[in-house]
Amino acid sequence: MLEEIYIAGFGGQGALSTGQLLAQAGLAEGRQVSYVPVYGVEKRGGVANCGVTISDRQISSPIVTEPTVLVVMNNLSLERFESAVVTGGLIITNSSLVESPVRRDDVRVVSLPAYQEAEALGDGRVSNNIILGALLELTGVVSIETVEKSLYEVLPRRHHGMIPINRKALERGAELAREYKKLWKKEVTGIYNHSA
């Protein structure tokens, strides 16, 4: 198993904490893990990207240049990184903020209204975990249960009161992803035609 995941957004959107949760959960499950954050100079609104590699084998390079999974939280990130995804890879977009369509037809695409879904749960700040829950369901890279436990390691103690809503966000994201999996299964059997 090898997943090279690139998460791209602006500061304050949770891209880095999403990567930290994945990395922590990978370590907890005994996998080989690398986590490389990329910060902009601005405190909020600047670049906030990270690459996370999770593997059963030794990782040759910690830098993610050809992601198997790309998570984008804004239009600029989609424009910049869409072409880097491997053929057959997965692109997950936060459609609450990403209006541009994915132009490639050789990758799987999941567009989730993550902010609206998070608001429906009671707090828009957990939209990154809507996306993370979907990623976990679609890839199986680590279990959702391990990520939920990792919230205690990654979130500062002063934010532990938000763990219940973060768990709900992870579970909601997984639920939304299961709908995509049903569509993909129908697509393979010829029942569902995405272009219709």
Over the stretch 135-160, which tens digit does the pLDDT of each residue have? Answer: 999 999 999 999 999 999 999 999 99
The whole-model pTM stands at 0.89
At 170 the pLDDT is 97
Q: How many domains, in total, are found in the chain?
A: 1
Range of the domain at 126: 2-189
In this structure, what CATH number is given to the domain that contains residue 49? 3.40.920.10
Residue 149 covered by a domain: yes
Per-residue b or e along 78-102, where b marks 16 or more CB atoms closer than 10 Å to that residue's CB? beebbeebeeebbbbbbebbbeeeb
Cα–Cα distance measured from residue 24 to residue 30, given in angstroms and rounded to the nearest whole number: 10
Residue 35 covered by a domain: yes
At 171 the pLDDT is 97
Q: Are 119 and 161 in contact (CB under 8 A)?
A: no
Query: In terms of Cα–Cα distance, which of 34, 36, 49, 39 is closest to 2?
Result: 34
- How far CA 134 is from CA of 63, 66, 88, in Å, comes to 23, 20, 17
Residue 194 covered by a domain: no
Say what the alpha-carbon torsion angle 25, 30, 36, 39 is, to the nearest 10 degrees.
Answer: 20
Residue 43 covered by a domain: yes
At 42 the pLDDT is 59
Each residue of 5-30: pLDDT tens digit?
Answer: 999 988 878 899 999 999 999 999 99
